[in-house]
Structure formats: C-alpha cells, structure tokens
Structure 1
Amino acid sequence: MRIGIVVDSACDLPADWLTAHEVKLLPVTVKIGQSQFVDMRDEGATLDFVESHVAGRHTAETAAFPADKIKALFLDELVIDYDYVFCLTVTRHRSQIHDNATHASFAILNEYRPIRAQAGCTTPFALRIVDSQQVFAGQGILPVEAVRLRDAGASAPEIRTRLEFLAERSYAYMVPRDLAYLRARIKHRGDRSVSMLAALIGSALDIKPVLHCHRGDTGPVGKIRGFEPAAERLFAFAVERVRAGLLTPTLCLSYGGDLAQMRALPGYAELVTACETHHVERFETVMSLTGIVNVGVGSLTIGFAAPPHAFS
C-alpha cells in the first residue's frame, strides 16, 4: 500500500526533511497590509519577509488553505499517487485548517473513483484527517513518526493507532521574546489568555512566561526573568525529559529567527549532548511564518512526546 503524508505549513519541520520524505504541504497565507506571503516553509524567504514586514506589526492576518484547494490537491495528485493518505493538521482550536480538510475529505472520497480508474488504479482510496492537537515544534512529532512507521512497512491501521496515541501525549513549550507583541496579537485575535496587566508587568520586569500546549489547550506553566535565562531553563527541562525517556526518539525545536541565534543560547549545547547520548534525533527549523506572526520574532519552541509530567 502506498501511504502518503500531508501537513500544513504551520508544522515546524525543516523543508529539506519534508521534501526528502515526500511529505506534502498545505500552505498558509499571511497578509500584512498590501503584502502577501504564501508560507511554503522556505527558511530564507521567511526570514526575509519577517525582516521587511513583521517586526512591530500586530495586524497581520493568516488564512488557512481553503477546502476547495485541499480538494483539488487530492483529486489532482494524491488520490493517484497514494492509496491511503494521513493529513496531519495543527490543533483545530487554533486554526481553520482541520475543519477545511475535514470538509474537503467528504468531496474527495465521493469523487476519487473515476480519477483513480482512469489512472489504472483499481483499489479504493482512503483518507484520514488527524488533529495533531499541537502547535509549532509540537506539531512535528506526528509526521516524523508517520514517516518512520511507513518506511518500516507498518500498515495504515497501525500508523493511525500510533498517531492517535501520540497526539494525546505530545507537548509543546514556548518562551516568547516580546510579551507585549504576543499580548497585542492575542488581543487582535480576541483571545484573553494574556492580560494587559501581565503584559505590562512582564515588559517592565523582563519576565518571560513559559507557555505550554497539550491536547490543544494552551497556557502558562512558569515565568522566568530574562529571555536567555528562560531559554536556558527550557533547554534544561528538555534535557530532563530526554533523560527520563520520551515516547518517540524525536525532539523538535523551532525559533522565530536565524537558527544561529538559537544555537548560541545558554543550555543549547547541553541539550544537544543529551540527545546524542540517548539517541534522540533533533529536528531544528526556523518557525513557520504563521507562528512568527502570532507569537513574535525570536520566540523559542520545543516539542516532544512523553508520559505525563510537570514543568519545573
């Protein structure tokens, strides 16, 4: 069985890895004033756009890949190239893309038969939309595992069961560099999870929250004075999780800027050593433009799958 994997461009995995493993991309469009950028996970293009358009702007709008275009992608390519496709989306609590893909799936499954027949495919086509329940680096866990299982010869039901298991046990942690920017973006979206008072106090005292996403729910789990100390603590926490044992040998990191800046942060080298010692593969990438627009330039995220735990 030919198994395909699709992600949206909010998924923080390196573009060269996605290409090498033939993972298809549903792009997200970002609009700032008259400027528009289609996020195809091109790190250079993302950084150029950020430098030119994003800094200090809170009014950007993001648009999920629409249902009609998802339908066209599948019917034009994927129903011929594959027999079963997993479409792994950012948490439905933060984006319309899961609902768009679900809506498109009904039409896809109703219309694929003559297209496959014309291409000489006589077997049925199947599609599964999976809510990763994650954001940023946390969203990278499921595609990596899906590729590993597919390449190891696992069946579609085996992959589906494993992905659903991991979606419930994936975690993302983030330290924003600019709390005032984050608060402005949250207010623009109508989300009151970061109050004005917290933003003012945080800016005045340089206190950075550690934010957490699990099963689609997001919120603060800690606060540390200064971005570099907060990043160092987050790296140290990731080292603790690696040593305690992850559910997959995968750690994803993303940064809202040049990766050289992330790699120069205190604690990064210790995390690299821990991953190498415990045979955990690191995936490092510039954060998606969608992510940068929503949480600010210079934000740091880490994602992994693990047993229940608390940030300390």
Structure 2
Amino acid sequence: MRFGIVVDSACDLPAEFYVGHGINILPISIHLGEETLVDDRDPALIARYLAEDLGARGAAARTEPYTVEQIRDVFLGRLVLDYDCVFCLTITSTRSPIFEHARKASFAILNSYQAVRKAAGVDGPFLMRVIDSQTLFSGQGVVVYEATRLIDAHSTIGAARERLEFIAQNTYGYMLPRDLYYLRARAQKKGDGSRTVGWFTATLGSALDIKPILRGWRGATGPVGKARGFDAGAKALFAYAQERVSAGLLVPVLCLSYGGDLAEMRALQGYDSLRMTCEEHGVELLESPMSVTGMVNVGVGALTLGFASPEHDAQF
C-alpha cells in the first residue's frame, strides 16, 4: 500500500525532511496590502520575507488557507492516484479552520475517488485520515515525524491512526515571542484579543522586557511561564526541554523553529547543552526556519519548540 502525508504550510520541519519523505503541503495565502504571498514553505520566500523586512507589514496581513473545494481538487487531481492512503495532519483546529476544511473535503473525496482512479487504471480503494495535531508550528512537526516512522515500519492503517492520535494528545508545542506589541496587534487583526496579549500586558512586558512562554497542548494555547528578556526565556525553554529529553520522550525527536537566521538560534545560551543532551539520548534534533505563516502570526524572531512526552506540569 502506498502511504502519503499531507500537512499545512504552518508545520515547521526542515526543507530536506519534506523532500526526503515526499510530504505534500497545503499552501496558505498571505495578503500583504496589494501583494499576495503563497506560503508553501519555499526557502526562497522565507529568505525574502526576512531580507525585505516584510514582517513590518505582517500584523495587518490576512491569511487564507485552502478551502474545502481546493483541498478536494488537490486530492482528486493527483493524490488519490499517487497514494492508496493519505494521513492529513493539520495545525490545531482551535487556531485555524484547516482541520475542518480537510475533514469536510474528505467526504467529497471518498465519495468521488473511484471514478478518478478507474479512469487512470488504478485499482483498489483509497483511504484518507484527517488528524488534528492539537498543537502548532514545531509541535505539529513532531506528529508528522511520527507518521513517517509508522509508514517506514509498515504499520497498519488502524494502528497508525491510533498512534498518531495518541501522540497528538501528548505533544507539547512552546513558543517564545520577541515583540509583544506585534503579538497584540496581530491578535486584534484576527479578533483574538481574549486569548492573547492585552494592551496592559504588552506595555508592561515591553517596558520591563518580560517575555511570556506560551504553550500549545491538546488544543489549548496560553502562557505557562515568563522570563526577563528573550535570551533568558530561550535559556529557560532549552533547559526545560533538556529535562524532558532526559526523562524520556514518546517520540525520539525534538523540533525547533526560529523566525530568522538559524545561526542566531544556535548562538542562544543553552542551545549547545540541549543539542548534546539530544545526542546522548538518541533524540533527533530537527531545526527549521519558521514558516512565513508562522512569522505573520507571531512575529519575526520568535522561537518555537516541540516534543511528545508523558503528561507533566511545565516548570519555568
């Protein structure tokens, strides 16, 4: 059976990982004034967004994920022929409509694929499973990583789905923003002020250089800690991740993403210790630039980190 994986472009994984595993991407359109960017994780677009300081206009941008009809057309146009089963792993449904769009599209796809496959001379049924990662950015990458391992291990469809849903329930995604004013402006643009940084917090945090450590877990997103300064926050986040790696992860991977040059992230205090701890425990460290979609939503210079672990209380 030929297995495929589909994700949205907000999922932070290295470009070579996408290519090496043949992972398909559902793009997200970003409307910056009169210009529209199509985020399909093209490294050239990420480089341009940073080099041309497009993030200065990002807070007012409008993002537009694929519609139900567009997802249906992608599958019926190609994926139902290329694969016999596809796992569609989306950003948390509480922050984006992509999961719901994919779920609705799956009904039309599963009702229409037979004629498409028959016309192309492809035998057998087609299966599609849509799974909510319940987290975002590098956290979503952990669930995708596990999907590739299950496919390589020739897992059955039922066992793979059960495992992926379990991992999604136990994946922790963390984010450390640089600019609280940007985060607040972006939340206002999206009408999301009740769930993110308010004016008072943004003003106080910027004045005192206090950064919140935000967590995405089981569909809920919110602050779980704070630090005086971005560098101190990164150090605390790396130290926490180091503890979790030492305690034992459910999937042998730790994903990092950064809204800028990865050399800047690797220069942060605590990074080298985290990298060495991952090596000592046989945990693969996957690093990637943050997607343009991610930088639009949380700002340039943000740091994200994801792993799957038994349930625990975050201590910062």
Same fold (TM > 0.5): yes
Pairing 1:115–2:116 present: yes
List alignment gaps of at least 5 residues for structure 2. Answer: none
Aligned equivalent of 2:25: 25
Is this contact kept in 2: 1:141–1:252, CA < 8 A? yes
> Which amino acid in 1 is paired with 2:62?
E
Whole-Å separation in 2 of the counterparts to 1:258 and 1:210: 21
Q: CA–CA distance in 2 between the matches of 1:34 and 1:56?
A: 11
CA displacement, residues 241-298 of structure 1 (integer Å, 9 cap, x when unaligned)? 0001000001000001111110111110001000000000111100011110111110
SS in 2 for 1:55: helix
SS at match of 1:154: coil
Which residue number in structure 1 is paired with residue 47 of structure 2?
Answer: 47
Which residues in structure 2 correspond to 1:86-235 (within 5 Å)? 86-191=87-192, 192-193=194-195, 194-235=197-238
- Alpha-carbon shift at residue 56 of structure 1 (Å): 5.4
Work out the percentage of aligned pairs sharing the same amino acid: 53
Aligned residue-pair number: 312
- What are the Cα deviations for residues 120-144 of structure 1, in whole angstroms up to 9, with x where unaligned? 2221111111111111110001111
Q: Tell me the TM-score normalised to structure 1 length.
A: 0.98
User: Post-superposition shift, 1:167?
Assistant: 0.7
RMSD across aligned positions (CA): 1.1
TM-fit CA distance, 1:72? 1.2
Match of 2:285 among 267, 282, 287: 282
Q: Match for 1:203: what amino acid?
A: S
Task: State the partner residue of 1:273.
Answer: 276
Structure 2 CA distance for aligned equivalents of residues 56 and 9 of structure 1:
20
Aligned mate of 2:257, from 248, 254, 257? 254
Tell me if structure 2 keeps the 8 A contact 1:56–1:181.
no
Q: Distance in 2 between matches of 1:171 and 1:220?
A: 13
Amino acid paired to 1:41? R
More off after superposition, 102-111 vs 227-236: 102-111
State the partner residue of 1:69.
70
The AA in structure 2 aligned to 1:64 is P
Q: In structure 1, how many angstroms separate the alpha carbons of the residues matched to 2:191 and 2:229?
A: 27
The runs of 5 or more residues in structure 1 that have no matched partner are: none
- Cα distance in 1 between the residues matched to 2:291 and 2:13: 9
Partner in structure 1 of residue 306 of structure 2: 303
Q: TM-score, normalised by structure 2?
A: 0.96
| 1:97 partner amino acid | I
Question: How do 1:229-244 residues align onto structure 2 when only pairs under 5 Å count?
Answer: 229-244=232-247
8 Å CA contact 1:14, 1:41 repeated in 2:
no
Q: CA–CA distance in 1 between the matches of 2:58 and 2:284?
A: 35
- Inter-partner Cα distance in structure 1 for 2:148 and 2:285: 15
Match of 1:82 in 2: 83
Deviation at 1:8, TM superposition (A): 0.6
**Residues 66 and 56 (structure 1), Cα distance of their counterparts in 2 relative to 1, 3 Å cut:** closer
Write out the 4+ residue segments of structure 1 that deviate beyond 3 Å after TM superposition.
Answer: none
**2:102–2:130 Cα contact (<8 Å) kept:** yes
Q: How far does residue 308 in structure 1 lie from its aligned partner after superposition? A: 1.1
